[in-house]
């Protein structure tokens, strides 16, 4: 396959945008619908990535790469889901501040574990030995195929999240977020609802982490910085927390602009790409976030508009 | 005829509150030795502000936990007796016990239709993997919902309830859609226009005739005198008097503590 037309920066840029959108979509279910402000996104992302990576590289698999990859991916997803269940059980009945501190604390725990458990994770030196579960020729072709696979996964997540608004389950999530005592008085098991949503959402974040790890090929604690959480949060808030499209639009606007257009298409001097542009990116993200919160607090897409949705579904 | 009526009294759901105590920062708000609600189809609960009426109802729903005591629901959904003071709030509606709210409560973002669908929906529909259940849920319940919409002249249901009165009414409709066997109404007519109040009262009568036990807390005493078969008078955390509306409104203690001479 001739991929000369494709810029390597474009692949990595698009990949990071798609990963952020995937995380932001899962965050939309937790924060936008059920109003659980999960500030530990990177914790679940990271625990999935490392559980996957450790199992994949440390075990002497008796069978081929693809089954080994699938088993490890399932393991990473499961570990992230179980930690989501545990953290969710601890935070589900706390107020917003408690949820913030609890989830942020979990992300810190994961970061510290990745740094200190050197036998398993390689510590600050990192964990190498990850590879694509296939080989289609060049590295570029492998990466391109991986990008396509992750785009398909994130599209499926989007379709589910978009559709959930049109189901009784989605209505339950919105009601739980909007007025939990009232939902409870209508016979809704709100604690269980929040717990399972949190666990399943975290499992999804862990799976995305594992997919991200494959593309990185080398896992290091610096992948687990708060910037991952903030990227998902910023994308969602700018696009609109209450809308499924919010994650997509916010992700493309902010991260698409920097990671694709600035990286690949604007001929800044090479030296700028080391420090100046990443820092400028953080500054612009912060400014845009402040601007959006000041002038359009519900994000670009605005309020949920159940009235229009109901008319479309039952009209 | 007599045996039929006895039958009806036997199967009517009842709530028995025993040794129930609730205090807030040292002040005892509710202290009830033994109280049975639901002997009569419609019972009123009246008393001065701070008597503990709302707290008692919240204790029954377990949205306010008890300090101690036992509350039992007899003839719950399915016929059995359930000790509800051990159960979390979300188990009350499945057992047939439902309460409307004194303060205005609504889900922002959810339309009137959403609210009604939420009330009629059960856990069976609300699973993450049941992604094609919206239409069956709607189709199975659309007639029931339309009856209420037409009866109360709600207009377009695909909008968010606007006024306080509309939200209050929606709260009551949600309760009715749950098909309660034991219905508690906390100031149902406060903030409602008169013609809506009459419609609500009419529905409550109909429900009671069909076998639901109703308990009403209400400050509009005309509603109490006209609607209730029996009235409990509450003061300082316990029920001090019980009787027919006539007996209560002529009782000197009630007159002195609550009604004032003008109301006799």
CB A172 within 8 A of CB A166: no
Q: State the count of interchain CB pairs (< 8 A) between A and B.
A: 119
CB B207 within 8 A of CB B215: no
ipTM field:
0.91
Q: pLDDT confidence of B10, banded at 50, 70, 90? A: low
Report the pLDDT value the prediction gives residue B8, as an integer from 0 to 100: 47
Closest CA to B116 of A310, A156, A202: A310
CB A127 within 8 A of CB A218: yes
d(CA B58, CA A223): 49
Q: State whether B117 and A168 contact (CB < 8 Å).
A: yes
DSSP state letter for B87 = S
* Chosen from A93, A171, A189, A197 to mutate, greatest number of chain B CBs within 10 A: A171
**Residue range B52-96, pLDDT digits in tens:** 999 999 999 999 999 999 999 998 887 889 999 999 999 999 999
**Chain B within 8 Å of A156 (Cβ-Cβ)?**
no
d(CA A204, CA A207): 5
CA distance B171 to chain A (A): 9
Indicate whether this model's pTM tops 0.90.
yes
Q: State whether A186 and B118 contact (CB < 8 Å).
A: yes
CB A165 within 8 A of CB A254: no
Q: Which residues contact B30 (CB under 8 A, 6 or more apart)?
A: B20, B21, B22, B52, B55, B56, B59, B237, B238
d(CA A143, CA A156): 20
Contacts of A168 in chain B (CB under 8 A): 117, 121, 125-126, 130, 133-134, 137
Q: How far is CA B155 from CA A131, A138, B194, B216, in A?
A: 61, 64, 18, 28
**Residue range A210-262, pLDDT digits in tens:** 999 999 999 999 999 888 999 999 999 999 999 999 999 999 988 888 788 88
The sign one gets for the Cα dihedral B250, B255, B259, B263 is positive
Report the pLDDT value the prediction gives residue A56, as an integer from 0 to 100: 95
Q: Is the pLDDT of residue B2 over 90?
A: no
Q: By CB neighbour count within 10 A (0-12 exposed, 13-18 middle, 19+ buried), where does B243 fall? A: middle
CA distance A176 to chain B (A): 9
Closest CA to B117 of A189, A36, A312, A170: A170
Q: pLDDT confidence of A96, banded at 50, 70, 90? A: confident
Site of tokens 């409870």 = A184
> Nearest residue of A to residue B127 by CA position?
A169
> Nearest residue of A to residue B58 by CA position?
A185
> Nearest residue of B to residue A176 by CA position?
B107
Q: State whether B93 and A185 contact (CB < 8 Å).
A: yes
Q: State whether B110 and A190 contact (CB < 8 Å).
A: no
Q: How many CB atoms lie within 10 A of CB B249?
A: 19
Q: By CB neighbour count within 10 A (0-12 exposed, 13-18 middle, 19+ buried), where does A176 fall? A: buried
Give the β-pairing of B14-24 and B238-243: unpaired
> Nearest residue of B to residue A178 by CA position?
B107
d(CA A9, CA A4): 13
Q: Domains in chain B, start-ordered, CATH in brackets?
A: 2-106+161-258 (3.40.50.300)
Bridge partners, residue B49, by sequence = none
**Kindly report the CA angle at B161 between B160 and B165, in degrees rounded to 5?**
170
């Amino acid at each position: 396959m001739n991929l000369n037309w494709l810029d390597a920066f474009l692949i990595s840029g698009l990949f990071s945008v798609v990963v952020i959108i995937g995380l932001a979509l899962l965050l939309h279910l937790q924060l936008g619908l059920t109003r659980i402000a999960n500030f530990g996104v990177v914790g679940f992302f990271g625990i999935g990535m490392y559980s996957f990576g450790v199992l994949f590289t440390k075990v002497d698999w008796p069978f081929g790469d693809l089954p080994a990859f699938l088993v490890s991916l399932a393991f990473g997803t499961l570990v992230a889901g179980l930690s989501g269940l545990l953290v969710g059980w601890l935070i589900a009945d706390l107020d917003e501040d408690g949820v913030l501190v609890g989830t942020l604390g979990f992300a810190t725990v994961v970061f510290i574990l990745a740094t200190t458990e050197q036998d398993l994770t390689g510590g600050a030196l990192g964990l190498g030995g990850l590879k694509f579960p296939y080989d289609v020729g060049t590295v570029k072709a492998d990466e391109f195929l991986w990008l396509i696979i992750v785009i398909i996964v994130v599209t499926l997540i989007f379709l589910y999240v978009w559709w959930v608004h049109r189901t009784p389950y989605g209505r339950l999530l919105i009601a739980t977020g909007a007025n939990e005592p009232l939902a409870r008085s209508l016979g809704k098991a709100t604690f269980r609802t929040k717990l399972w949503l949190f666990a399943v959402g975290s499992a999804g974040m862990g799976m995305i982490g594992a997919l991200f790890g494959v593309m990185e090929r080398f896992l290091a604690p610096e992948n687990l910085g708060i910037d991952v959480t903030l990227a998902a949060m910023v994308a969602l808030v700018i696009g609109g927390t209450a809308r499924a499209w919010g994650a997509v639009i916010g992700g493309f606007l902010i991260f698409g602009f920097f990671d694709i257009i600035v990286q690949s298409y604007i001929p800044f001097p090479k030296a700028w790409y080391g420090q100046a542009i990443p820092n400028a990116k953080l500054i612009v993200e912060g400014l845009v976030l402040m601007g959006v919160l000041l002038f359009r607090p519900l994000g670009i897409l605005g309020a949920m508009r159940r009235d229009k949705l109901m008319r479309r579904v039952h009209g | 005829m007599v045996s039929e009526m006895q039958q009806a009294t036997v199967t009517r759901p009842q709530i028995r509150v025993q040794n129930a105590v609730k205090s807030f920062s040292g002040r005892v708000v509710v202290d009830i030795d033994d109280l049975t609600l639901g002997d009569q189809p419609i019972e009123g609960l009246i008393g001065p502000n701070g008597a503990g009426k709302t707290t008692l109802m919240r204790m029954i729903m377990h949205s306010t936990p008890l300090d101690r005591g036992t509350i039992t629901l007899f003839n719950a959904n399915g016929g059995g007796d359930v000790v509800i003071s051990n159960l979390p709030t979300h188990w009350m509606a499945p057992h047939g016990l439902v309460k409307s709210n004194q303060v205005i409560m609504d889900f922002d973002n959810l339309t009137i239709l959403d609210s009604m669908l939420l009330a009629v929906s059960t856990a069976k529909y609300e699973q993450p993997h049941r992604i094609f259940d919206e239409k069956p849920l709607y189709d199975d319940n659309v007639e029931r919902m339309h009856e209420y919409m037409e009866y109360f002249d709600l207009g377009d249901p695909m909008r968010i309830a606007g006024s306080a009165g509309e939200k209050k009414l929606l709260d009551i409709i949600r309760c009715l859609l749950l098909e309660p066997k034991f219905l508690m109404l906390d100031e149902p007519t406060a903030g409602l226009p008169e013609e809506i109040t009459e419609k609500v009262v009419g529905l409550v009568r109909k429900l009671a005739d069909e076998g639901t036990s109703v308990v009403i807390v209400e400050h509009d005493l005309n509603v109490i005198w006209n609607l209730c078969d029996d009235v409990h008078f509450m003061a300082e955390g316990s029920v001090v008097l019980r009787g027919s509306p006539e007996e209560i409104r002529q009782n000197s203690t009630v007159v002195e503590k609550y009604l004032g001479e003008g109301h006799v």
